[in-house]
Amino acid sequence: MTESRLSHLYRSSTQPQTLSARALIDAETAVRAAQGRVVPHERDEVAAALAGSSAHADLVQFLRALEPASAELAQGLARSAMHESRESRRRAHRRMPQRGWQWSAVAASLVAVIALFVMRDAGQPHGTLQAQLPHSPRADAIFDGGLDAAVAGHAADDRIFHTSGGDEVTHDRIFSARSGG
Amino acid sequence: MGRINDPNHERLERLLADYGAKLRALVAAHGLARHGIDADDVEQEVRIRLWRAIERDRSAAFHASYIQRVVASTVIDALRRAQVRATEPLPEESDDGFQPFPDRNLGPEERASGHQHVEKLRSCLNALPERRRLPISLHLQGFALQEIADIVGTSAEAARKLVSRGMDELKDRLREVGAGDFDD
């Protein structure tokens, strides 16, 4: 009998000792065992499961052999993710000048509308201001003394504080008893 | 539909296809088929699970251990399903549900001899001291010395000594019970 034959015999005897027969190894524990990082408090349980179940043993050995391929896939996915994010940034950059152009167009339209309004207002004759400015004989009516003269000239029309001379107050229409009717 | 012409999608498809091919080859190489595992089913399931994870976040980076966990949980699920399928005993199986030689080409005499050898091996293993029994069992399961050291929590040199001395003792005991001579 050879040692490999002995191993075959032993593995055959532990083949039916599948997952529920011995300590149940979960995915996390199997991966740790494949990496050679068994948690100390789980060591006895894991070792017994691997020794007593060829399904567990094959799973852990398979995972160990798969590690380089998984690392390679992880690197490939990371490169792909980087490429994806670069692409999305590039797409966003491409979209940004378009948006700037759109904003410029809106601003230009706004300016054009305002300019149109201003021009329209400038073209039409304005009521009071337009009428008064050209015919006004004086540029400043307050400081040239003309206003005082005008007020003095109309002084007789002030009916409130105006007295007709002497003691006569009957012309004060506001405080007159007749003013109420 | 736009995904078909998406270069990123194509790149991911290629990556997963390459990984799937390696996965399938290793499932076959490690004899998981004898536990009722179908390499194609495992590959397909792993690819589906990884795709789902990628679709959840296309910009996320996956660590190798995450991918390993996905594979491990897929294989464990498949083992459980296979175990459920195998609950009904086959007529060829022995009384205790154990069939040490699934090879259908073996004759009844060879099978009977195999059963005897297995029983002797079990009794001799159980007679070994506890500290040697576990490394020997792991060695017979096909683990390398460094793997045994990692699992048992000792150095590779200590594992080598335990295995070497344990195997000598086991062979001696097997010779004593008439299990045959060892020519290696």
Contact (CB, 8 A) for A179 and A165: no
Instruction: Summarize the confidence of residues B88-116 as an average pLDDT.
Output: 56
Cβ <8 Å between A15 and B35: yes
Cβ <8 Å between A26 and B151: no
The pLDDT value given to residue A160? 55
In chain B, the percentage of residues whose pLDDT exceeds 70 is: 78
Measuring CA to CA, how many Å separate B148 from each of A33, A50, A86, A113, B113? 10, 10, 45, 84, 30
The pLDDT value given to residue A156? 53
Cβ <8 Å between A81 and B72: no
pLDDT tens for residues B75-88? 999 988 887 776 65
pLDDT tens for residues A93-145? 777 666 677 888 899 999 999 999 888 877 665 555 555 555 555 555 566 65
pLDDT-based confidence at residue B68 (cuts at 50, 70, 90): very high
**Between the ranges B1-10, B50-59, B97-106, where is the mean pLDDT highest?**
B50-59
Give the span between the Cα atoms of A153 and A42, in whole angstroms: 116
Whether A72 and chain B come into contact, CB under 8 Å, resolves to yes
Cβ <8 Å between B140 and A80: no
Work out the widest C-alpha separation in chain A, in whole angstroms: 156
Give the span between the Cα atoms of A173 and A164, in whole angstroms: 12
pLDDT beyond 70 at B9: yes
Give which of A84, A85, A89 to mutate to test B binding, by max B Cβ within 10 Å. A84
In whole angstroms, how large is the CA radius of gyration of chain B? Answer: 22
Q: Find the angle CA(A89)-CA(A94)-CA(A100) to the nearest 5 degrees.
A: 120
Nearest to B32 among A50, A62, A80 (CB): A62
- Decide which of B101 and B74 is more confident: B74
Cβ <8 Å between A59 and B32: yes
**A169: which DSSP letter?**
-
